[in-house]
Structure 1
Amino acid sequence: MKLERLISIIYMLLNNEVVSASELSCKYGVSQRTIYRDIEAICAAGIPVVSYQGVNGGYGIMKEYKMDKSLLSSDDIASLITLLKSTTTIFEDERAHETIHRLKTVQTDNGRAPSLTMDLGSWRSYTAHLRALHSAINGRQLVQFHYTNAKDERQDRVVEPVSLVFKYGAWYLYGYCRSRDDYRVFKLTRMSELLTLPECFQREHNIHTEDVLTGGGGQEQEQISHAIIHFTGGSLARVLDEFYLDEKQFNDDGTLTLTITQAIDTDWLIEKLLGFGEDALVLEPPALRQRIKEKIGKMLNRYKEV
């Protein structure tokens, strides 16, 4: 508790010109004598605390030692706290909790409702996998797991984990796959029987953001760059959820016409459209219409005995 109080006092002094001993005593529920000892400990640690005498006197830190407040506004601090809180719902990171506490000591609008709230957890969260992978990344330990790829092939993988990535509403592991001698991105939902191996790796990994976001080193999937789909009025909310970045036209009869003009994975699109059932009708291109027709035909054949 003392260390936590000392850190909080330091941030109080950094955020205010002068803070009186009585104010600090009241805030932390200790005697002024204890505050005096705390100030001495802070000075002994090399932080230049200045004592101001008089009615409005108290303690402060030399201006030359302070960071310019304009670097972090109240909104910046609130956003940092929100982001850290969202990660602590998944990762049991004591350092994050300590950082949140320190940031709260410099907040000046504690009574105002937050303008941003995030929760990265969900009913389908893979908390155990995430924590195990996070620990392996920090410890530079190899991980092993069974992985089902986009071709429905289930294989053993041994990976040097580099980074966890949250994108498109799902978690991914970016790492160097020893089984493929290349960097790969693995979707956590396709992992099973995850094990952290005792062996540590020495290889230095330079993370390239473009590789993480595009799947670095993986095989490219067939993509389609133009499509027009008509949706009935009973599926508008789902369309907005699934295709929020694409061009949408709301029609007078309550239906919606979706126009896709950016490259999108063809298999993913077909899977999503089949999920809409009779509410979705592909108008263009003809090749996509044919692919969906073939898929539906195969589905009907599986139920021909019904």
Structure 2
Amino acid sequence: MKLERLISMIYMLLNNEILSASALAEKYNVSQRTIYRDIDAICAAGIPVVSYQGVNGGYGIMEQYKMDKSLLGSYDVGSLITILHSMSTVFDDERALDTIHRLQTIQSGPNRQSLTMDIGNRQIFNEPLRLVRSAISERCVIRFDYVNLKNEKTSRKLEPIRLMYKNSVWYVYGFCRTRQDYREFRISRMVDLVTTAETFQPHAEKEQECKERSYEGREERQRTDVVLHCSAASLARAMDHFYDADKCFNEDGSLTLTLKVYKPVESEWLVAILLSFGEGLEIVEPLELREAFKAKLEKMLKRY
């Protein structure tokens, strides 16, 4: 839309000393004549655009008019730019890039990057994330097959409300028409994801009720202490996987880890991680988990 283009052009001019009409035309996929008209409209709105002649000529905004750089501290601006840049990589979001340009107009001093983020390094997830985010914006129902923790595959229709990034995992939260209740779904377990032509209106009251019952709002469940003994050869991997555990380094270079797990004997995710360590990790407590793990190993040995 013209208004969005004009606003974006203003921030582009604020962020650059001089921009040529041809560069602006290429940026917004319009003719140079349209750019000339847009510049006239910006000037009519009271923003002092200056025209520079010559080979390297173009348009710029008077220095005195530019935004006060004390509006945000350099630390705040740099952190916001880093976060937005990472998000724009995931979602291919032009609006996020435009916001970055705006923030750069008030960034003072040299651009010394003290923070980097990369939450879009798994490109296979980017396309479904973009599809879900678009469905959220347009309030479109999405349809997909889903594999739950019991390894059951079911077809679902969801009114998506928001995307969530928790513990390095992407989720979509919304109203599941199949279950007639609010649910969270891991993006990695969704198959054949499509956007339908159906639209929806938010269920404000029920959504609020569900938020109170959601993961963040639940009371802390009863958890059991799991004690693991890690060999010196597996320290780095153990600390990566169990970074929130209590750690006690032993004199022989090994490590004792204590972590709290809800129903550890039933936690297949824990068993899968422990198996990946081979001889590098031993379950010390609880005895029930140790016995269950031993039974799992015996069952695997029979297969081989």
In 2: Cα distance, 1:239 partner to 1:127 partner? 29
User: What CA deviation, in whole Å up to 9, does each residue of 1:177-223 have, x standing for no partner?
Assistant: 1111111111111111111111001234546766664598xxx9x97
1:28 counterpart SS class: coil
- Compute the displacement of 1:79 (Å): 0.8
Please say if 1:139 is aligned against 2:153: no
User: What CA deviation, in whole Å up to 9, does each residue of 1:67-96 have, x standing for no partner?
Assistant: 8945x2111111111011001111121111
- Give the alignment of 1:38-49 within 5 angstroms: 44-45=44-45
In 2: Cα distance, 1:30 partner to 1:194 partner? 43
2:91 counterpart SS class: coil
Say which of 5, 10, 16 aligns to 1:6: 10
In 2: Cα distance, 1:300 partner to 1:278 partner? 15
Mind listing any 5+ residue stretches in structure 1 that lack a counterpart? 13-23, 32-36, 50-56
Please say if 1:98 is aligned against 2:98: yes
Give the alignment's TM-score, normalised by structure 2.
0.76
1:58–1:144 distance in 2 versus 1, CA, 3 Å: closer
1:58–1:115 distance in 2 versus 1, CA, 3 Å: closer
In 2: Cα distance, 1:190 partner to 1:295 partner? 25
- Compute the displacement of 1:139 (Å): 0.7
- Compute the displacement of 1:125 (Å): 3.7
Say which of 21, 28, 32 aligns to 2:18: 28
- Give the alignment of 1:53-92 within 5 angstroms: 59-60=64-65, 69=70, 72-92=72-92
Equivalent residue pairs, number: 266
The aligned residue for residue 129 of structure 1 is 128
In 2: Cα distance, 1:298 partner to 1:101 partner? 58
- Compute the displacement of 1:7 (Å): 2.8
2:82 counterpart SS class: helix
- Contact 2:226 2:261 survives alignment (8 Å): no
Does 255-264 or 116-125 show the bigger shift? 255-264
CA RMSD in angstroms comes to 3.2
The aligned residue for residue 241 of structure 2 is 242
* Identical aligned residues as a percent: 42
The aligned residue for residue 291 of structure 1 is 292
The aligned residue for residue 189 of structure 2 is 190
In 1: Cα distance, 2:7 partner to 2:216 partner? 44
- Contact 1:6 1:38 survives alignment (8 Å): no
Give the alignment's TM-score, normalised by structure 1.
0.76
Q: Give, as a single letter, the amino acid of the residue that structure 2 aligns with 1:6.
A: I
The aligned residue for residue 29 of structure 2 is none
Mind listing any 5+ residue stretches in structure 2 that lack a counterpart? 22-36, 49-61
